[in-house]
Chain A
């Protein structure tokens, strides 16, 4: 009944979920311990970027990437929506206009609701403009939108493909501060090279915990570190065993 070829993956997943569940239940829920997360420059720059937009009297552009909710990259989109909530709340707080673009129709209503609730929570429901949440079947079109609106800050956070470079360069050409965040490996170099600040890889997933300082969320970030320690241990062990002529562990993971 169990698929034989996937037993190792199942075992590793059980270990990961076990560590994370322990951290959530024991450290997060019971002890309510808030772990400190190292500084994320890109998240600290959000307020600066919003402030810059207010001073210049220009709008902010935010896009949660180009991944559908049914794709393997969906966690990046979910993380990007959490950060959208934070940025929209900052925009509402400082009376900045935020233009949100999304490429997929199932992500678009989520963007509308996240931005709407951010304005409602800030007591500025009257400033919410639904027409500023835009569905673009090709996200590349946001390059033209940024040029026309002359945005002062460009947030590109989520999963991206070739659009990352187009949007980053369009943002730079419009004189915007670029804040990126991506965990798709092939686009990471472009983002790092072209953005003023960038969330690299797993930082994207840690950002919501960094913002909210929720005990459960920060506990899972620590849980991630434990899993990385286990992974590192397996890598070192496999290297040592292979070096002394015992490649069984190495073969197991091939």
Chain B
């Protein structure tokens, strides 16, 4: 089938299913609600199958690195072992298998927690770079950050209760107004992008071949 026809089929399916899911949200009709639930289940299954593509990519890239003795080829071996051993054990012995649980509780969780802990240091280094009094905007940002910091620091409230009021005023007036303005724009932008996708007018993600735009 020609590429153009395949694209038309994909866009037609997108339109029909997308429209159905919108309609289903607003009506209570058993057969349509059941159909939409089945489509959601099918999407979950398709995404599960897509995991095979992801695991295949990891395996291929790291096997290639090992065979070429490229940079960091020893970590590549660790990576493959970390992917495949829990995967095989999980498939053969379910998620309750003791080895699977051991790997998850004693390896995966601590590594994940360590990464979250590192986030604190990244916040510090990010703040160090961002809060520089070089312009009017930067000065306002530093002042606001300092006042919010003082609002949340217990010792500042002990020294002067006004820090709490000023911090709350910044959060409830300036921050809330800006936040709501942005979120209204984001919501409308999401609807617009959704409509463009349903009508087949948002095509960048379809990897269309075209020339001379940049």
B165 to chain A, nearest CB (A): 22
A1 interfacial by beta-carbon distance below 8 Å: yes
A224 lies within 8 A of B47 (CB)? no
Known: A121-B210, A166-B119. A201 touches B54 (CB 8 A): no
A110 lies within 8 A of B116 (CB)? no
B193 to chain A, nearest CB (A): 4
B126 lies within 8 A of A1 (CB)? no
Residues on B with C-beta less than 8 A from A202 are: 182, 185-186, 188-189
B179 lies within 8 A of A185 (CB)? yes
Q: Which residue of B lies closest to A228 (CB)?
A: B188
Task: Determine chain B's interface SS by DSSP, over half rule.
Answer: helix
* Of A190, A211, A214, A228, the contact of B126 (CB 8 Å cutoff): A190
Cα–Cα, bound, A108→B55 (Å): 11
Given contacts A17-B191, A121-B209, A211-B213, 12 further A-B contacts (CB under 8 A): A1-B29, A20-B191, A70-B44, A82-B205, A85-B204, A85-B205, A109-B53, A114-B205, A185-B179, A193-B126, A201-B183, A201-B186
A231 interfacial by beta-carbon distance below 8 Å: yes
Residues on B with C-beta less than 8 A from A168 are: 126
A110 lies within 8 A of B213 (CB)? no
B47 lies within 8 A of A3 (CB)? no
Residues on A with C-beta less than 8 A from B208 are: 117
Number of interface residues of A (CB under 8 A): 83
Residues on A with C-beta less than 8 A from B116 are: 162
B197 lies within 8 A of A75 (CB)? yes
B53 lies within 8 A of A224 (CB)? no
Residues on B with C-beta less than 8 A from A104 are: 47, 50, 54
Residues on B with C-beta less than 8 A from A54 are: none
B186 lies within 8 A of A185 (CB)? yes
B61 lies within 8 A of A165 (CB)? no
Cα–Cα, bound, A135→B50 (Å): 11
Could you tell me which residues of chain B, from 8 to 66, have a CB within 8 Å of some CB in chain A?
Answer: 22, 25-29, 40, 43-44, 46-47, 50-55, 57-58, 60-61, 64
B29 lies within 8 A of A165 (CB)? no
A81 lies within 8 A of B196 (CB)? no
B188 lies within 8 A of A131 (CB)? no
Cα–Cα, bound, A79→B183 (Å): 17
B211 interfacial by beta-carbon distance below 8 Å: yes
B188 to chain A, nearest CB (A): 5
Residues on B with C-beta less than 8 A from A205 are: 186, 189-190, 192-193
Cα–Cα, bound, A172→B122 (Å): 11
Task: Determine chain A's interface SS by DSSP, over half rule.
Answer: helix
B173 to chain A, nearest CB (A): 14
B78 interfacial by beta-carbon distance below 8 Å: no
A62 to chain B, nearest CB (A): 13
A183 interfacial by beta-carbon distance below 8 Å: yes
Residues on A with C-beta less than 8 A from B130 are: 193-194
Q: Mark A106-124, 1 if CB is under 8 A from B, else 0.
A: 1011100110111011100
A75 lies within 8 A of B189 (CB)? yes
Cα–Cα, bound, A150→B53 (Å): 27
B129 lies within 8 A of A201 (CB)? no
A220 lies within 8 A of B196 (CB)? yes
Residues on B with C-beta less than 8 A from A108 are: 50, 53-54, 57
B106 interfacial by beta-carbon distance below 8 Å: no
Cα–Cα, bound, A118→B182 (Å): 32
A157 to chain B, nearest CB (A): 12
A134 interfacial by beta-carbon distance below 8 Å: yes
* Of A78, A109, A114, A120, the contact of B202 (CB 8 Å cutoff): A78
B192 lies within 8 A of A131 (CB)? no
Residues on B with C-beta less than 8 A from A45 are: none
Cα–Cα, bound, A162→B191 (Å): 25
Cα–Cα, bound, A85→B210 (Å): 11
* Of A2, A200, A220, the contact of B28 (CB 8 Å cutoff): A2
* Of B118, B188, B194, B214, the contact of A86 (CB 8 Å cutoff): B214
